[in-house]
């Protein structure tokens, strides 16, 4: 099978670029800990309201400026409805769904993950700038999907 | 002598029975496109804040219709029709009796399925989008209809395989025509890719929607869906590549760059499009980061056949341009048939594929995905892949295929209107997809009705760009109307004649390794890759299943 010389060069360059790219992604994920949200915890979606800590959704302070936020997503809102933290706080979000699949996204941040019934999903972020942060559902969940939102107030 | 042979082979006419079959598929494809395009335009207008839908129609209903009609119905019907025609064209102009029988059975099965699903969408009983993520529950008829659509396409695929086997029997020891080889690779991909979808629908969704089982394993249903969902996009792309590799060289009066490399590209596409579905589930719980990374690496290998395709295409363009008198580094560029829509449409499609492929690499990357996942960036991405690269190529094909099948010709005037149609589509798609990519980076969600999230300042700042998006959608709709008009003219009113079915040839005899055609070898490699990528995680999702979800209707 004949391979044109230029095509060989072209494919070698492309292949080498690809190898470097995949290596960087792997280093990013496994050496630097920047893994996509992949929580393995499970929960019965029909018993979320009886399962602690999701029976009482809210903030739990675990450090000087660190909070665990246990939240539930349901058609078409989140609980708790508003979260307030001081500037510089780190929030570890733990979210689960009481019904269908939802999304959990804070625009212009890296917080963006799926909330799948039967599972808890998690991600963390430090809020260094004061202001109001919009949390919105980015997975179609029914007739009121476009109003499903809440906010975080950072003071 | 050689020239004479070329002339002869390029005047093969697809015979009446085969043309009728192929045309039946093409007609349903474009009927579906016209309704789907209308739904798309309405969505753009709603999202741009230009119109409000009447109360008897729901945004998510037309969104479902748009996705199902364009993503599943238009593409599948067009592809089956096009592949059948090419199988006939490279088999002396005819399909075997078995192929025709399978073809028609497949056609009617698909049609019944499509009508069942459409009926439930119209009744607002299936506003679950074309991904139908459980535990959103549609009426059982929607799932049964979707299953019939898939099963019908299998039957059509078996018809093509029958034709291919017959050709092989009559041409012992010969290399199959490139078109037929690529069509069979596409059929193989579709058969393998739709199997997990069929399992999801038959064993999970139908029993659950009927009420025979109380709950569904949501994560398993999603994994099975994306097992299918990514190869689906290669099922769209491969027939477009057939147009690029096989038809375009003949249209511009050139030669196929390399027969063997074209086949290698298709083998790679077949192998590396399937064991990769987790890159659609990167942001999901219940799948470990290691498995996600394996799928990401396998996904990115597709860069290689894409680079090969880009090289082959431009090599053919340059060689042809130079043979026609192009001088200097770029002189050949001017000698390409820029005013011939059969070339212009797929060429613009290729240009769209450059940013589209780059965007794909971004989406498939572990970390970058967190920025764009489920934002309208993704919608922008697949509108320049399937909505531009693939769709423009299909339009370019339809402009010669329809008159060829109906015994008419693509006239100069029709060609001119078709050029205008392509320009409208390209400009509309460029505007709409640019706005979508930009908005996606701002975090604007996809698949969402008009909203400002209760007067949120950030969400309000998105609206002007959403209006730009809607404007692009308007241009696209104008283009769709032109397209349907030209196709009706070509099928019904254009002057009678012989429109060529362009099938390119290689420059002289080329050596192609026989192993490329040993399907058992490649299907075994594929099986190994699939087991490697999916066996463990799927076993785990079944053995350590999350508590199930009951059916819900939230619309």
**Residue-level pLDDT at B5:** 43
B289-300 vs B341-364: helix crossing angle, rounded to 10: 150
B259-272 vs B519-530: helix crossing angle, rounded to 10: 30
Tell me the residues of chain A between 8 and 27 that have a Cβ less than 8 Å away from chain B. Answer: 10-11, 14-15, 18, 21-22, 25-26
Query: What backbone torsions phi and psi does residue A21 show, to the nearest 5 degrees?
Result: -60, -45
Model confidence at B260: pLDDT above 90? yes
Task: Lowest mean pLDDT of A27-31, B206-210, B224-228, name the range.
Answer: A27-31
Tell me the residues of chain A between 52 and 71 that have a Cβ less than 8 Å away from chain B. Answer: none
Distance of alpha carbon B84 from alpha carbon B107, whole angstroms: 12
pLDDT band for position B2 (cuts 50, 70, 90):
very low
- Any domain includes B297: no
Residue in B with minimal Cα distance to A141: B554
pLDDT band for position B10 (cuts 50, 70, 90):
low
Cis peptide before A80 (omega within 30 of 0): yes
Strands A89-97 and A66-74: parallel
Contact B269, B304 (CB under 8 A): no
The residue-averaged pLDDT of A63-71 equals 96
- Any domain includes B482: yes
Q: Which of B472, B283, B402, B408 is nearest to B20 (CA)?
A: B402
pTM for this entry: 0.96
Residues spanned by the domain of B418: 337-494
The residue-averaged pLDDT of B12-34 equals 97
Token pair of B18, please? 């085969």
Q: Which chain A positions have a beta carbon within 8 Å of B222's beta carbon? A: 101, 116
Write the Ramachandran bin of B455: left for phi over 0, alpha for psi from -120 to 50, otherwise beta. Answer: left
Task: Lowest mean pLDDT of A74-88, B36-50, B111-125, B321-335, name the range.
Answer: B321-335
A76 noted as active-site residue:
yes
Token pair of B258, please? 């390399």
Dihedral angle over CA of B193, B198, B201, B207, nearest 10: -150
Q: How many CB pairs under 8 A join A and B?
A: 227
pLDDT band for position B511 (cuts 50, 70, 90):
confident
ipTM of the complex: 0.95
The residue-averaged pLDDT of A105-117 equals 96
Contact B434, B471 (CB under 8 A): no
Residue of B445, B449, B454, B508 to mutate, interface with A, max A Cβ within 10 Å: B445
Residue in B with minimal Cα distance to A38: B285
Question: What residues contact residue B26 under an 8 Å CB cut-off, 6+ apart?
Answer: B77, B78, B81, B82, B398, B401, B402, B405
**Residue-level pLDDT at B9:** 52
- Any domain includes B442: yes
**Residue-level pLDDT at B329:** 87
pLDDT band for position A4 (cuts 50, 70, 90):
confident
The residue-averaged pLDDT of A113-134 equals 96
Q: Which of B239, B78, B263, B92 is nearest to B178 (CA)?
A: B263
pLDDT band for position B8 (cuts 50, 70, 90):
very low
Contact B25, B81 (CB under 8 A): yes
B391-406 vs B341-364: helix crossing angle, rounded to 10: 150
Q: Do A139 and B311 touch (CB under 8 A)?
A: no
User: Based on the structure, what is the number of domains in chain B?
Assistant: 1
Distance of alpha carbon B499 from alpha carbon B299, whole angstroms: 40
Q: Which residue has the higher pLDDT, B387 or B7?
A: B387
- Any domain includes B220: no
- The angle at the Cα of B66, spanning B64 to B70, to the nearest 5 degrees, equals 125
**Residue-level pLDDT at A53:** 95
Distance of alpha carbon B421 from alpha carbon B249, whole angstroms: 23
Instruction: Give per-residue pLDDT as tens, B138-148.
Output: 999 999 999 99
User: Could you tell me which CATH number the domain at A45-154 has?
Assistant: 2.60.40.420
Model confidence at A2: pLDDT above 80? no
**Residue-level pLDDT at B4:** 39
Model confidence at B6: pLDDT above 60? no
Q: Which of B27, B113, B16, B32 is nearest to B65 (CA)?
A: B32
* H runs (alpha helix) in B200-283: 206-210, 218-242, 248-251, 259-272
Instruction: Give per-residue pLDDT as tens, B457-483.
Output: 999 999 999 999 999 999 999 999 999
Instruction: Give per-residue pLDDT as tens, B179-204.
Output: 999 999 999 999 999 999 999 999 99
The residue-averaged pLDDT of B287-293 equals 94
Distance of alpha carbon B204 from alpha carbon B128, whole angstroms: 16
pLDDT band for position B281 (cuts 50, 70, 90):
very high
Could you give the 3-state DSSP secondary structure of residue A42? strand
Could you give the 3-state DSSP secondary structure of residue B343? helix
The answer to whether residue A77 neighbours chain B at the CB level (below 8 Å) is no
Dihedral angle over CA of A45, A51, A55, A56, nearest 10: -130
Model confidence at B264: pLDDT above 70? yes
Longest dimension (CA), chain A: 68
Q: Do A113 and B297 touch (CB under 8 A)?
A: no
Question: What residues contact residue B387 under an 8 Å CB cut-off, 6+ apart?
Answer: B70, B429, B433
Residue in B with minimal Cα distance to A111: B370
% of chain B beyond a pLDDT of 70 = 98
Distance of alpha carbon A91 from alpha carbon A95, whole angstroms: 12
């Amino acid at each position: 099978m004949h391979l044109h010389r230029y095509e060989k060069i072209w494919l070698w360059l492309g292949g080498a670029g690809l190898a470097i790219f995949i290596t960087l992604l792997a280093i990013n994920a496994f050496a630097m800990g920047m893994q996509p949200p992949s929580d393995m915890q499970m929960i019965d979606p029909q018993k979320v309201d009886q399962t602690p800590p999701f029976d009482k959704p809210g903030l739990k302070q675990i450090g000087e400026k660190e909070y665990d936020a246990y939240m539930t997503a349901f058609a078409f809102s989140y609980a708790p409805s508003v979260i307030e933290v001081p500037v510089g706080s780190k929030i570890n979000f733990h979210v689960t769904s009481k019904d269908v699949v939802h999304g959990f996204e804070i625009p212009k941040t890296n917080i963006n993950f799926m909330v799948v019934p039967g599972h808890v999903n998690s991600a963390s972020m430090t809020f260094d700038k004061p202001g109001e942060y919009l949390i919105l559902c980015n997975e179609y969940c029914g007739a009121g999907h476009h109003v499903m939102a809440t906010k975080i107030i950072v003071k | 002598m050689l020239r004479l042979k070329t002339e002869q082979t390029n005047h093969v006419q697809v015979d009446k029975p085969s043309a009728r079959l192929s045309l039946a598929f093409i007609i349903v494809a474009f009927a579906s496109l016209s309704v789907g395009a209308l739904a798309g335009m309405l969505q753009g207008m709603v999202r741009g804040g230009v119109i409000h839908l009447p109360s008897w129609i729901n945004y998510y209903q037309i969104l479902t219709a748009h996705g199902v009609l364009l993503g599943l119905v238009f593409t599948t019907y067009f592809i089956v029709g096009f592949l059948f025609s090419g199988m006939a064209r490279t088999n002396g102009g005819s399909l075997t009796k078995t192929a025709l029988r399978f073809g028609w059975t497949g056609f009617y099965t698909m049609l019944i399925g499509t009508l069942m699903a459409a009926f439930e969408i119209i009744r607002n009983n299936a506003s679950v989008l074309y991904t139908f993520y459980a535990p959103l529950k549609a009426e059982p008829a929607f799932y049964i209809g979707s299953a019939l659509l898939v099963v019908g396409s299998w039957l059509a695929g078996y018809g093509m395989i029958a034709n291919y086997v017959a050709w092989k029997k009559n041409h012992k020891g010969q290399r199959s025509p490139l078109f037929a080889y690529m069509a069979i690779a596409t059929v193989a991909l579709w058969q393998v890719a739709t199997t997990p979808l069929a399992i999801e629908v038959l064993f999970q969704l139908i029993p659950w929607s009927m009420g025979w089982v109380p709950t569904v394993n949501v994560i398993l249903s999603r994994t099975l869906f994306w097992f299918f969902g990514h190869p689906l996009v290669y099922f769209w792309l491969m027939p477009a590549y057939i147009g690029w590799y096989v038809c375009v060289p003949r249209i511009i009066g050139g030669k196929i760059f390399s027969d063997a490399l074209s086949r290698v590209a298709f083998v790679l596409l077949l192998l590396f499009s399937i064991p990769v579905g987790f890159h659609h589930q990167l942001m999901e719980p219940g799948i470990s980061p290691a498995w996600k990374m394996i799928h990401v690496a396998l996904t990115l290998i597709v860069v290689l056949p894409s680079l090969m395709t880009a090289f082959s295409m431009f090599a053919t363009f340059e060689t042809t341009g130079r043979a026609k008198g192009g001088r200097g580094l770029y002189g050949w560029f001017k000698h390409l048939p820029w005013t011939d829509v059969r070339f212009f449409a797929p060429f613009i499609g290729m240009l769209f594929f450059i940013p589209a492929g780059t965007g794909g690499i971004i989406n498939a990357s572990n970390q970058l995905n967190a920025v764009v996942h489920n934002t309208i960036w993704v919608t922008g991405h697949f509108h320049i892949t399937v909505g531009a690269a693939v769709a423009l190529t299909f339009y370019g094909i339809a402009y010669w295929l329809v008159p060829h099948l109906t015994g008419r010709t693509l006239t100069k005037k029709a060609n001119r209107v078709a050029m205008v149609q392509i320009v409208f589509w390209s400009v509309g798609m460029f505007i709409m997809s640019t706005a979508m990519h930009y908005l996606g980076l701002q975090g604007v969600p996809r698949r969402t009705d008009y909203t400002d999230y209760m007067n949120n300042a950030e969400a309000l700042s998105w609206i002007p760009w959403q209006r730009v998006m809607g404007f692009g959608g308007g241009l696209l709709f104008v283009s769709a109307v032109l397209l349907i008009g030209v196709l009706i003219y070509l099928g019904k009113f254009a002057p009678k004649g012989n429109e060529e079915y362009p099938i390119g040839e290689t420059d002289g005899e080329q050596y192609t390794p026989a192993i490329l055609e040993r399907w058992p070898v490649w299907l075994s490699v594929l099986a190994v890759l699939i087991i490697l990528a999916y066996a463990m995680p799927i076993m785990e999702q079944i053995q350590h299943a999350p508590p199930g979800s009951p059916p819900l209707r939230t619309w």
